Structure 1
Amino acid sequence: MLKSVTYSKVVSSVFLLLCFYYILLVFSTDNNSGKGFWKEINDGWWNDDDINVSLEDSTKIQPIIGGLSGIKLLRYFNDNLDYLNKHIPKHFHPYNNNYNQGNTTNASSNKVVVSSYYDLFWKFILSNKLDTQSMIEVLTRDVDPLNSVHSHNDYWRALPLFDALLHGVNSVEADVWLVEDYDNTTLAVGHNNLYLNPEHKNLKKLYLDPMVYMLNEINHDNNVTYGMFYNSPETTTFLFIDFKSEDSVKTYNVLVESHLSTISRYLTYRRGTPSNDGTIENTIVWKPITIILTGNYPDLHGHEDEMLKPYIFFDIDFDDFTSKEAAIQILKEKRDAVLITSSSMSKLIASCYSNSEDYESYSGIRKLPFYPREMAHFEIRCIKNKINIAHEVNLETRIWGVPEWPIHIRNTLWKQQYNELNSNFLNTNDLDAIIAF
């Protein structure tokens, strides 16, 4: 009898344990309605407001991101890639190429637009924002634009343009190559023409399409245009387009005719006003996007006036500013279509030594790159003189090619540029470091 009772207790205990284990298994296993109770608790996804929201019943996965924006939103996305990839509805897809419509309904949910990672980020934002929200609000609601940072080689990032916006950076850069394939002409984006991917990485898909998609959401009045920072809608975003191809004139024509002409309402432009002496004075009308051509762009001096569109601006080298008069002459040749001037650190340093009688023995430095070190007092005085000239003719400055390693040297050079040279833009590849600077 005792053995029978003991046996019954053992069986009952085992049965209860199995039931308990089964309950845990049900709540902790992935299924169609979510990620699993315990896993959501541990990952911090569980929210009382989410209890009645399932992916089967809703086209939104919200309120998952809540009040996140900027780099917090980016970190959240990166920390939950596996879950998002499994559960974001497939019908959410990045923009198509229709600037005017700006909808996603015609895009194939299976076709990669840029990359799997990039496309997932778009789906993540689209599937989380409320119908009354714009992408700009979701991305930059709590982001203040820095206005003094340039995202160098921005196209190298996993999220071109978006990474910069989420960090508050309003100046980005894309290297473009003219790629002609039968009747299809594309401005591919990349550092080296051997590794271009024109179908997925081109100027439209990485920059112009997402910019216009976001701007179309918030600009319904043709008389007013708002930019890409929610808390600072008047702030423009500079898009530097670095010409790489030998045929710069054709690259320019393709850029203007096939890429920019249809979106001119969003582009900063020059408005000519006759002055009392009969000359034309240019007034800058700021818009959400400011186009700056740099690199191997064509010299339009002497070409027909219609070639130089009012929304095109040129990047020139302020190392050539030997005097204010010289700067004014250069601007006349560019028909005053200049807002920002750029020069390399190595060229500026070499120029300082080669133009100084006291340092004739250092003229050979012109052939050498600027090695990682802080600038000497003489170099600071020399470069600052040229920056002052640029400022006198109402131009902003940017120095590229500044060493970014070792870190302590990079930080010192940033301080010298910002505090001593008064250069307007810090050129960097490391956005996380610059916002912590």
Structure 2
Amino acid sequence: MAFPTRRRVVTTALATAAAGTLIPLRTAIASEAPPARIHRPLLHAHAHNDYLHSRPLHDALAQGFTSVEADIFLVDGELLVAHEATDLDPARTLSALYLDPLLARVRANHGTVFRDDRTPVQLLIDIKTDGVAAYAELDRQLRRHRQMLTSFQHGRVRPGAVTAVISGDRAARAPMEAERTRYAFYDGRLDDLGTAATASFIPLISSSWTGAFGWLGTGPIPPAEREALRAITAAAHREGQRVRFWATPDVPGPEREAVWAELLAAGVDHLNSDDLAGLARFLHSHGRHAR
């Protein structure tokens, strides 16, 4: 099966697509008000660059998001959360912002992230540099939090309240594949579809939307691109894998909603956004909550 490999130069106005979004992050974050109540889990909601919100993790969970993303750098033996090296803060560690609060919630809720709801949460961890060394430290920290984590042991997956999926620096793949017991899984790419790597190692297939498709929500999606999109999701789902696209339009308006609707119709599992409230409203309006 031939999947799209379209590559094009992105204009200055769309330059942030390389980071996985088409909306200025400050605008998206500033427009959000703290949620008044915890919403039902949203199966398709992925908080891209989650750590840039005023309350990392907690804002997303309060909106019902079931997937959050954190970028990490290994600095002096610690995993710091930031998008750029210039933004590093020794107080903003992966444990402090994500692992410890998630474990506290799981303990408080007797084994689940969401109270009275067993919907699992995905923690997508994007390693920005030093993949092998960063994963070694990450593996150590994940093992400290293994009580809540989905694991791979003795050749099978054991579900947990939180599933850690490792993305970013591809050098982390080799040490992960070599482990007989893992507390994390790998974020694949379109090239991994149909290969020997199964869902027990690669449960998620991610790709840049603008790297594979040209349609950005204006007018109807070209039939060939719709067919290609549905072929991708069908191929992944046959293998028990989920699909996510980053760099989808994220400026509020009909174009963004058109792309999101097309992704849902094609069976894409995670919609990627920095606008928590906007994506939550869209998914609720389409009845895409857990129950």
Q: Please, what TM-score do these two structures have when normalized by structure 1?
A: 0.53
Distance 2:134 2:56 in 1: 21
CA separation of 1:349/1:287 partners in 2, compared to 1, >3 Å: closer, same or farther? same
Instruction: Provide the secondary structure at the position in 2 that maps to 1:390.
Output: helix
Query: Which whole-Å deviations, capped at 9, do the CAs of 1:98-149 have from their partners, x for residues lacking one?
Result: xxxxxxxxxxxxxxxxxxxxxxxxxxxxxxxxxxxxxxxxx74xx3211111
Corresponding residue number in structure 2 for 1:215: 106
% of aligned pairs identical? 28
Matched, 1:316 2:167: no
Partners of 1:302 and 1:252 lie apart in 2 by: 8
Shift of 1:75: 4.5
Is 1:264 the counterpart of 2:146 in the alignment? yes
1:427 and 2:272 correspond: yes
- Structure with bigger strand share is 2
Matched residues in 1 for 2:125 and 2:34: separation?
25
* Structure 1 residues 303 and 401, CA gap change in structure 2 (3 angstroms): closer
* Cα pair distance change 1:254/1:302, threshold 3 Å: closer
Match of residue 41 from structure 1: none
Equivalent in 112, 121, 132 of residue 249 of structure 1: 132
TM-score (norm 2): 0.78
Alignment of 1:263-342 (within 5 A): 263-272=145-154, 282-301=155-174, 305-306=178-179, 309-318=181-190, 320=191, 327-329=194-196, 331=197, 336-342=200-206
Q: One-letter code of the match for 1:288?
A: A
How many residues get paired? 249
Q: Which residue of 1 aligns with 2:121?
A: 237
Corresponding letter in the other structure for 1:270: F
Change in CA separation of 1:383 and 1:303 when aligned onto 2, cut-off 3 Å: closer
SS in 2 for 1:298: helix
How much does 1:193 deviate?
0.5
Give the whole-Å Cα distance in 1 for the aligned partners of 2:175 and 2:159: 27
Structure 2 segments unaligned to the other structure (5+ residues): 1-32, 283-291
Kept after mapping to 1: 8 A contact 2:187/2:205: yes
TM-superposed deviation, 1:217: 2.8
Please list the CA deviations of residues 136-172 of structure 1 after superposition, one character each: whole Å capped at 9, or x if unmatched.
Answer: xxx74xx321111111110110011101110011100
Instruction: Give 1:339 deviation, angstroms.
Output: 1.2
For 2:261, give the aligned amino acid. K
* Aligned 1:34-433 pairs, distance under 5 A: 74-75=34-35, 140=38, 143-180=39-76, 185-198=77-90, 200-219=91-110, 226-232=111-117, 234-245=118-129, 247-257=130-140, 259-272=141-154, 282-301=155-174, 305-306=178-179, 309-318=181-190, 320=191, 327-329=194-196, 331=197, 336-349=200-213, 373=218, 375-405=221-251, 407-419=253-265, 421-433=266-278
Check the 8 A contact 1:155/1:190 in 2, yes or no. Answer: yes
Residues 176, 241 of structure 1: 8 Å contact kept: yes
